[in-house]
Amino acid sequence: MSGPDLNLLFTLDALLQQGSVAGAGRKLGLSPSAMSRALARLRTVTGDPLLVRAGRGLVATPRAEAMRGEVHRLVEDARAVLRPADTVDLYRLDRTFVLRTSDGFAESIGPRLIQQVAEEAPHVRIRFIRKLDKDSAGLRDGDIDLETGVVGRSIGPEVRAQSLFVDRYVGVVRAGHPLAKGNMTAERYAQCRHVLVTRQGLDLGAIDAKLETLGLARTIVTTVDGFAAALALARGSDLIATVPERHTMGLRGGMTTFTLPVETEPFTISLLWHPRMEGDAAHRWLRQLVRQACDNALRATPGS
């Protein structure tokens, strides 16, 4: 019994990505009639219409939608296997890279990264997704290409890491806030109302521990799960947000940032990836661009 025609995976991926027979044909260099025949074969093989007429266009069936992500990953993996290890034609590279980062990274580093990618590889797409925990399963499974974060115990031992920059926590208030003027003391900091960022793997307890040694405690009036939300609340109220300085430099425009009146340990933000992508030339190129974008963004920031 003969096996399935794996070339159909590339055809199916093009059809699902383009949403049209003609568009898929142009992507693969095939005529519309050849693509129509290929779609007919796919319908026979899968037992599903896959794409059905809706007005002047085609829409994917539920089965096709469920297959879309898996098919695309299989195709990308196959291309990576067959691609020469040390070379990549960046101008022709047609690929989507998924970066999982804490909020603030895309706003602070993303613009420079997107610009560099567009200049060197115009057909490459960058998809940022929000990091809500420290689980590295996405890197192992291939759902995520790159991740940023602090290397900790929850990171899989096989994950590769390279430092990007050292960060520290700072206090942030709206323009015109009473704390924007005068010397910052632990008493003034503690006496104000605070918004706290809390989520799995994020620990800001060291600040409260330092305040406790001084007989002080913050008044936490609300909690959020991200730095962007904390800064948005601080921008529109008298709340204090405590956030990473460099990670959120793209979110703090027009606000007042101050050094915390208690000492906290700096921490290193690293770039993380799975070793199966170590030799992938395109992946290696993107890793280098992320590092360059971080360096350029930090050099452009006063006081960095």
Residue 87, domain member (yes or no): no
End-of-domain residue from the set 19, 54, 82: 82
Position 1 scores a pLDDT of: 44
Beta-bridge mates of residue 57: 54
Q: What is the pLDDT of residues 197-224, one digit of tens each?
A: 987 656 667 898 999 999 999 999 999 9
Residue 89, domain member (yes or no): no
Take residue 139 and report the two structure tokens written for it: 């890197």
Dist CA 243 CA 249 (whole Å): 10
What's the domain range around 230?
Answer: 169-265
Please tell me whether residues 78 and 99 are part of one structural domain. no
Please tell me whether residues 113 and 189 are part of one structural domain. no
Please tell me whether residues 176 and 156 are part of one structural domain. no
Please tell me whether residues 112 and 157 are part of one structural domain. yes
Residue 154, domain member (yes or no): yes
Q: Please state, as a whole number, how many other Cβ atoms lie within 10 Å of the Cβ of residue 87.
A: 8
Position 54 scores a pLDDT of: 83
Please tell me whether residues 118 and 260 are part of one structural domain. no
Dist CA 303 CA 36 (whole Å): 59
Please tell me whether residues 152 and 285 are part of one structural domain. yes
Residue 88, domain member (yes or no): no
End-of-domain residue from the set 40, 58, 82: 82
Position 164 scores a pLDDT of: 93
Can you list the residues of the chain whose pLDDT is less than 70?
1-3, 80, 83-86, 152-157, 200-204, 301-304
Number of independent structural domains in the chain: 3
Position 304 scores a pLDDT of: 45
Supply the CATH number for residue 107's domain.
3.40.190.10
Cα atoms in the Cβ-side hemisphere of radius 13 Å centred on 199 = 15
Dist CA 243 CA 140 (whole Å): 29
Please tell me whether residues 261 and 191 are part of one structural domain. yes
Q: What is the pLDDT of residues 56-75, one digit of tens each?
A: 778 889 998 898 888 888 88
